[in-house]
């Protein structure tokens, strides 16, 4: 105890400086999450009153027996897997291209071009994508018509809506992941590659066994970040499809939001809590797997 007090006293300046940020984190970060979890245990009709009626796990049971929620959860997971793979593969491929000697001329232009969508306000970007996909005046179908190709169903077809928003999100996010990969590529130990080359390793072997292991930090951080990002997919749905057509893009975040609109606060926050648990669980798992030392 005396030792603890001694440490506190010794580090008092540190704790003093950290205190405001810790308080802000608790107030603006943790407190709303706890409140939301609390609401998930209340009856919706009384959820926002000073003395709500607590209903135990009734909202969770209702949500888990709701076939629309289960379908939207499955859809969210599928979309997340597809998006994480597509975004990381595209970003890694583009980063490798920019890091190579193939794109020496215009390198800065391409870096800017791929990163600009990241800093473009997402709503504005998705509105433009919605127009591009529009079946009556969109540029995409106009181009396909010029080429004599069949029309693309875009956002209004149940077969293509998911793919359409995946492409729009790829455009918006891939630049961010690419920058992380590019930063990691620029600090790798090139001497190892030279040594491997001298030892007779092929280009593929150099990539597989020398460069890729060095990209592990970028892969881990990008995977975790992308998992969080796509599990929570919301804005693109609000702007482009509103969950349609026929629920094909109705992800958990948007479905919970729809329930808020029907004043079903208890079930909506139960859904949000389930999603929160999945995000935390998957992110920590991905981080643990990525953080393991090779060979262990």
Partner 1 sequence: MGILRIIACATFAAAVSTLPAKAQQLTVWHDLGDNGIKWFEALSAEFAKQKPGVTVRSQSFPTDQWFGRVISALNTDTAPDLIFNNYERVIRIQNQTNKVMDLKELTGKISDKAFLSADDMRVATFKGRQIIIPIQRVQMAFGLRKSWLEKNGGKFPDTWEEVKTLAAAFRDNDPDGNGKADTFGLALQAAKPRDLIHMLDLFMFGSGLRHTLIDPEGKITIDQPAHAQVLEEFLKTYSSYKFVSPDTINHSFAEMYQVIEGGRGGMFRVGDWNVRKWDGAQVLNGDFVSGPWPKFAADRPNAVVIGGMRGVAVPENSPNKALAQEFAAFMLSKAAQQASLENIGAGVRKDLDVSKLSPRSQYFAKAEHRLVAYDFPESIHAFYPELEAAFHRKLLSGIANPPADWKAFIAETAKEMRDLATKLKG
**Which residues of the shown chain bind partner 1 in the complex (CB under 8 A)?**
45, 47-50, 68, 134-137, 154-156, 158, 240-247, 258, 261-264
**Residue recorded with tokens 């009626």:** 53
CB of 26 to partner 1, least distance (A): 21
Return the H-helix or E-strand segment holding 241. none
CB of 67 to partner 1, least distance (A): 11
Q: Given the complex with partner 1, which of 90 and 267 has the nearer CB atom?
A: 267
CA distances from 93 to 53, 182, 229 (A): 54, 10, 20
CB of 32 to partner 1, least distance (A): 13
45, 228 in Cβ contact below 8 A? no
Q: Given the complex with partner 1, which of 3 and 261 has the nearer CB atom?
A: 261
CB of 274 to partner 1, least distance (A): 19
Query: What are the residues facing 109 on neighbouring strands?
Result: none
CB of 137 to partner 1, least distance (A): 6
236, 165 in Cβ contact below 8 A? yes
> Could you give the maximum distance between any two Cα atoms of the chain, in Å?
82
CB of 288 to partner 1, least distance (A): 38
Q: Given the complex with partner 1, which of 7 and 262 has the nearer CB atom?
A: 262
Side-chain-facing half-sphere of 13: CA atoms under 13 Å:
1
Q: What counts of helices (H) and strands (E) characterise the chain? A: 16, 0
Per-residue tokens: 214: 């060095």
261, 220 in Cβ contact below 8 A? no
45, 54 in Cβ contact below 8 A? no
Give the span between the Cα atoms of 225 and 241, in whole angstroms: 24
CB of 105 to partner 1, least distance (A): 41
Q: Given the complex with partner 1, which of 99 and 134 has the nearer CB atom?
A: 134
Q: Given the complex with partner 1, which of 75 and 111 has the nearer CB atom?
A: 75
Give the span between the Cα atoms of 171 and 27, in whole angstroms: 34
Give the span between the Cα atoms of 170 and 89, in whole angstroms: 11
Q: Given the complex with partner 1, which of 8 and 68 has the nearer CB atom?
A: 68
Nearest 5 degrees, angle CA 81-CA 251-CA 157?
90
Q: Given the complex with partner 1, which of 217 and 245 has the nearer CB atom?
A: 245
């Amino acid at each position: 105890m005396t030792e603890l007090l001694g440490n506190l006293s010794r580090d008092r300046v540190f704790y003093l400086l950290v205190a405001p940020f810790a308080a802000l984190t608790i107030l603006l970060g943790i407190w709303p999450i706890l409140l939301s979890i609390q609401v998930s245990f209340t009856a919706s009709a009384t959820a926002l009153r000073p003395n709500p009626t607590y209903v135990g796990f009734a909202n969770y049971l209702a949500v888990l027996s709701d076939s629309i929620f289960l379908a939207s959860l499955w859809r969210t997971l599928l979309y997340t897997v597809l998006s994480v793979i597509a975004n990381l593969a595209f970003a890694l491929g583009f980063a490798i291209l920019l890091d190579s000697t193939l794109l020496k001329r215009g390198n800065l232009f391409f870096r800017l071009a791929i990163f600009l969508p990241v800093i473009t306000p997402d709503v504005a970007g998705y509105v433009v994508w919605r127009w591009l996909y529009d079946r009556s005046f969109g540029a995409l179908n106009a181009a396909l018509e010029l080429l004599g190709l069949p029309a693309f169903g875009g956002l209004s077809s149940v077969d293509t809506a998911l793919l359409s928003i995946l492409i729009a999100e790829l455009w918006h996010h891939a630049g961010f992941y690419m920058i992380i990969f590019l930063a990691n590529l620029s600090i790798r130990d090139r001497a190892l590659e030279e040594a491997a080359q001298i030892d007779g390793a092929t280009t593929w072997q150099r990539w597989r066994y020398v460069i890729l292991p060095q990209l592990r930090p970028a892969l881990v951080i990008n995977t975790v970040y992308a998992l969080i990002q796509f599990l929570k997919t919301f804005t693109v749905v609000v702007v482009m499809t509103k969950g349609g057509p026929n629920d094909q893009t109705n992800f958990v975040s948007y479905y919970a939001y729809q329930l808020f609109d029907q004043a079903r606060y208890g079930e909506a926050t139960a859904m949000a809590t389930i999603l929160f648990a999945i995000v935390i669980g998957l992110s920590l798992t991905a981080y643990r797997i990525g953080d393991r030392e090779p060979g262990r």
